[in-house]
Structure 1
Amino acid sequence: MWPWLMALLLTGWVAMGAWQRCKPLPRRVGAAWPVRAVDEVRFLSDETWFDARGRRHLDQAIFDEMLAMIDQARRLVVLDVFLFNDFTAGVGGDGLRPLSAELSAALVAQKRRYPELEAVVITDPLNTLYGGLELDHLEALRRAGIVVVLTDLNRLRASNPLWSGLWHLGPRWLGNRPERGWLPNALGPGRVTLRSYLAMLNFNANHRKTLVVDEGEGWAGLVTSANPHDASSLHGNVALRFGGEAALDLLASERAVASWSGINLPGPMPPDPAPVAGNLRLQLLTEAAIRKALLAAIEACQEGDRLDLVVFYLAHRGVIEALQAASRRGVRVRALLDPNRDAFGLEKGGIPNRPVGRELVAAGIAVRWCATRGEQCHSKLLLRRPADGGETELILGSANFTRRNLDDLNLESSVRLLGPPDTPALEQATAFFERRWASSPERTTSEPFAAFDDASVWQGLRYRIMEATGLSTF
């Protein structure tokens, strides 16, 4: 019987893995929302730099703006964030901002001031190690009457089908209980079960970072790359704050995710698409629609145009090949990448950015590394500027330029802003890139490519295998 049982198990494993990789996606995943006219839009950034004595300096604006948005809300707050905890792992607490506590306290205080306020927090189950921990701040939110939604990741396609085929055949159904933990928590304090680590191997996530609030008689939204995670509080990040109909698109996109867990978000639906009047337009993008917009922006570049990007992970083969083709057309491409050496107190091996950086340089693309000393260059931004002074295009948000983030495997939210180059938000985004690119001894923000030009053939091969199979955390 053993050969038959093994054959049956193998067949079930392969069939389940294939189904989880290709199953139909829920409605609204991978959506490109309508292009909307927008008047009020602001570019925000969190930046770290070092002076001539090596001292770290912080210029941060994103979470102060989020707290201000919550503080003026009266009817509705919907927050969707990936990492929302006080874990510090190997980073230590010195100099870290308690972002999770600040954001939780702001939500609780606003709910107490305005009991009729409806507040919903959507987050990833990684924060509880997939049911293996109870977090005090999440429990405090629930006690205050705030709805906390742990995203049902089983609705997503498998990022790592080699493991997920087995996971959905057995371990998924065993359940998880915080009081049964016996293994150390690699991310922070406490002990967790073996099932927590088995769940982690699926490598998919609700990776969004968004906020929607009422603002007077209207609505405001914010899309960012920043997590309210204490160990991430020194990271470099970007955000776009906007109002109007696009904020209702953002609310509708979150309504779809909340519905997976049986939560119905209140608030109006966005209006039907209409002809856009005005020079400044904004579009919400989720999941694979972000990839399509990135590729369209790169392919639209002509000789002499500028194309700048700042990104934590660059690994998607379609994006890399499009950048190489743009360089061959005479587009002036610059890539500012994280060196991929720091991960919350642990040293990483430079994958994927170092082997990818070498590919880009070989194609004539200028590459520099963000200057990091323990923190991460966590932004995800692309900026297209035509040589003739025409319309500038900015894409930013939660999505790294990788297979997991761009191929409908994670939940992601980004925004696309189009308008005249002298639009304040686009001028601010341009100034942000130039500040980060033009480093000096008095204000060190980036380093030359040679500083981390150490990728081996083996690293390049590992990156290709990890990107293709899903056996990776990027």
Structure 2
Amino acid sequence: MKKRYFVLIILAALILIPFVVSGVRYFMPVPAGVSFESEEYQTDDATFLYDLTYTNNDDAITQEQEIFEEVYTMIGEAEEFLVIDMFLFNDDYNHETLDFPPLSQNLTDKLTAKKSENPDMEIIFITDGINTFYDTYMPPHINELKKAGIEVIFTDLSKLRDSNPLYSGFYRTYFQWFGTSEDQWMINALRPQGPEVNIRSYLTMLNFKANHRKLIINEKNGLVMSANPHDASVHHSNIAMKLNGDILYDLLQSERAVVNFSGGNTRVFSDFADKLPEKTEDDEGQYTVQLITEGKIKDNILEMVNAAEEGDKLSVGLFYLSDRDIVEAFKAALDRNVEMNMILDINQDAFGNEKNGVPNRPVADELTTHDNPANIRWYKSGGEQYHAKFIMLEAEGEVIFNGGSANFTRRNLENYNLETNVLVTAPADSDFAGEITEYFNRLWTNEDADYTLDYEEEAEESLMKTILYRVQEATGLSTF
């Protein structure tokens, strides 16, 4: 009998300890410098860019690509330093059934050529462990960066809060002590043709956390975007904002924080800051710009939505919409008779694989069946994704725009993933306001091509998908 009780106590402890670990990690603070909100700066320089893939009136697939052309321009113009932070940086996809331009290799070639031309210039490339399938192998293009003398820093994801606590408590208690391994004997889910991976890689991946930022900084400009240098993402429709001035100091500081908790050398960031234009302390300029990261992005979204009044217009373009606080804020705005127009990805395509429409379809159903329904259109996909992440408020005399890397999901907005957005407030008659409103209206009205579909064409009412979405969003047992 005593042995039986002893065994039960041991089993209970083995189960209880991971839940205690989960609780501790859930309430732990984010690393220093994360979840950051900068000062507001005035500037006359703010530019909106986008990529679009769509069907024109002749049923031909057309692409407009601006974002990585601007990335290449910034690399070419850099004279003092480059700091790049990119989430997906690989050519992982099913090469037997799909074929994409070599975007990741093209970026590699631009960076290694720049380093060859200017060997003394510091180039720091920050990225996520997904590109090595969590320390299983080192891709050739990343090895090329290292051999060229470019410092590659893999974000230490273990320092971030756990978005999937039901699993991560057990992982931290039992599995992480096995470390990583370069053994290769299991099929690579991201690239079936190999290289193969191992069980430790999958155990790490199931924590579902990431450095999801996408940006580049040189001594002249910063570019914050929703686009990844990932071959299979090359046709996605994305957005970006190019800025300069005093906000560059904060962009550097936010990246320095990642390098710091990931064990990299942060001293060079002081040198980089010294090479930026001297701070102006100038309160003139038609645009107000602000850097926001992680949880501060959500705070600003909610502030924008809650401030919208009857007669104002909210326009949203999103790859994922699932965060419950934001959904409820949207419904409250609709109840105040705020006009709300949304362009959503259908969530049906992922690099050749078919998805089930979660979370966007159940959320769209909720918003369109609300007492005061939202106006929703689906982006018309030909296998690519509408990968934009932004919200825009058109109020009397001004336009406020919040965009960047962050999907509107719990994982992206509750201090789990690393994210970078910028907030731009512009006069309604300014160039920036004209650029973003023209972009949205072009897609909304199908001005010169077939960009979007009527909501009814892909509408779906599914109790099972609604339940699945709610459970996944609440627990973190999902990839969104």
Q: Which residue of the other structure, out of 129, 136, 141, is the alignment partner of 1:137?
A: 141
- Pairing 1:367–2:376 present: yes
Structure 1: give runs of 5+ residues left out of the alignment.
Answer: none
SS in 1 for 2:52: strand
Q: Per-residue deviation at 1:327?
A: 1.1
Between 82-91 and 375-384, the greater mean CA deviation after superposition: 82-91
Q: Per-residue deviation at 1:5?
A: 1.7
Q: Per-residue deviation at 1:338?
A: 0.4
What are the residue-to-residue correspondences of 1:150-169 with 2, within 5 Å?
A: 150-169=154-173
Q: Which residue of the other structure, out of 76, 79, 83, is the alignment partner of 1:78?
A: 83
Letter in 2 for 1:324: K
Aligned match of 2:394: 385
| Partner Cα distance (1:167, 1:327) in 2 | 42
Letter in 1 for 2:132: T
Cα contact 1:90–1:346 (8 A) shared by 2: no
The two structures have a TM-score, normalised by structure 1, of 0.95
Aligned match of 1:193: 198
Work out the percentage of aligned pairs sharing the same amino acid.
39
Give CA deviations for 1:5-48 in whole Å, capped at 9, x if unaligned: 21111121111111121112111111111111122221000001
| Partner Cα distance (1:427, 1:282) in 2 | 16
Aligned match of 1:105: 109
Give CA deviations for 1:167-191 in whole Å, capped at 9, x if unaligned: 111221212222x110011111310
Aligned match of 1:66: 71
Between 50-59 and 445-454, the greater mean CA deviation after superposition: 50-59
Aligned match of 2:40: 35
Between 131-140 and 276-285, the greater mean CA deviation after superposition: 276-285
Q: Per-residue deviation at 1:459?
A: 0.5
| Partner Cα distance (1:348, 1:212) in 2 | 34
Aligned match of 1:8: 13
| Partner Cα distance (2:213, 2:405) in 1 | 6
Aligned match of 2:3: none
Cα contact 1:337–1:369 (8 A) shared by 2: yes
Give CA deviations for 1:371-405 in whole Å, capped at 9, x if unaligned: 0011000000111111x3x1210110000000000
- Pairing 1:311–2:314 present: no
| Partner Cα distance (1:272, 1:109) in 2 | 31
Letter in 2 for 1:378: H
Between 145-154 and 165-174, the greater mean CA deviation after superposition: 165-174
Cα contact 1:91–1:231 (8 A) shared by 2: no
| Partner Cα distance (1:7, 1:185) in 2 | 35
Q: Which residue of the other structure, out of 449, 467, 471, is the alignment partner of 1:461?
A: 467
What are the residue-to-residue correspondences of 1:262-301 with 2, within 5 Å?
A: 262-263=263-264, 264=266, 265-266=268-269, 267-268=272-273, 276-301=283-308
Give CA deviations for 1:282-337 in whole Å, capped at 9, x if unaligned: 10000010001111111111111111000000001111111111111111100110
Letter in 2 for 1:339: I
Give CA deviations for 1:153-205 in whole Å, capped at 9, x if unaligned: 01110000011001111221212222x11001111131001111111110110
Aligned match of 2:243: 242
Residues 319, 76 of structure 1: alpha-carbon distance in 2 compared, 3 angstrom cutoff: same
Q: Per-residue deviation at 1:53?
A: 4.4
- Pairing 1:409–2:416 present: yes
Backbone CA RMSD of aligned residues: 1.6
Letter in 1 for 2:144: A
| Partner Cα distance (1:2, 1:142) in 2 | 52
SS in 2 for 1:322: helix
Letter in 1 for 2:235: L
| Partner Cα distance (1:45, 1:384) in 2 | 19
Residues 314, 90 of structure 1: alpha-carbon distance in 2 compared, 3 angstrom cutoff: farther
Residues 91, 45 of structure 1: alpha-carbon distance in 2 compared, 3 angstrom cutoff: farther
Aligned match of 1:450: 456
Structure 2: give runs of 5+ residues left out of the alignment.
Answer: 1-5
Q: Per-residue deviation at 1:278?
A: 2.8
| Partner Cα distance (1:413, 1:299) in 2 | 22
Q: Per-residue deviation at 1:341?
A: 0.4
Cα contact 1:176–1:193 (8 A) shared by 2: no
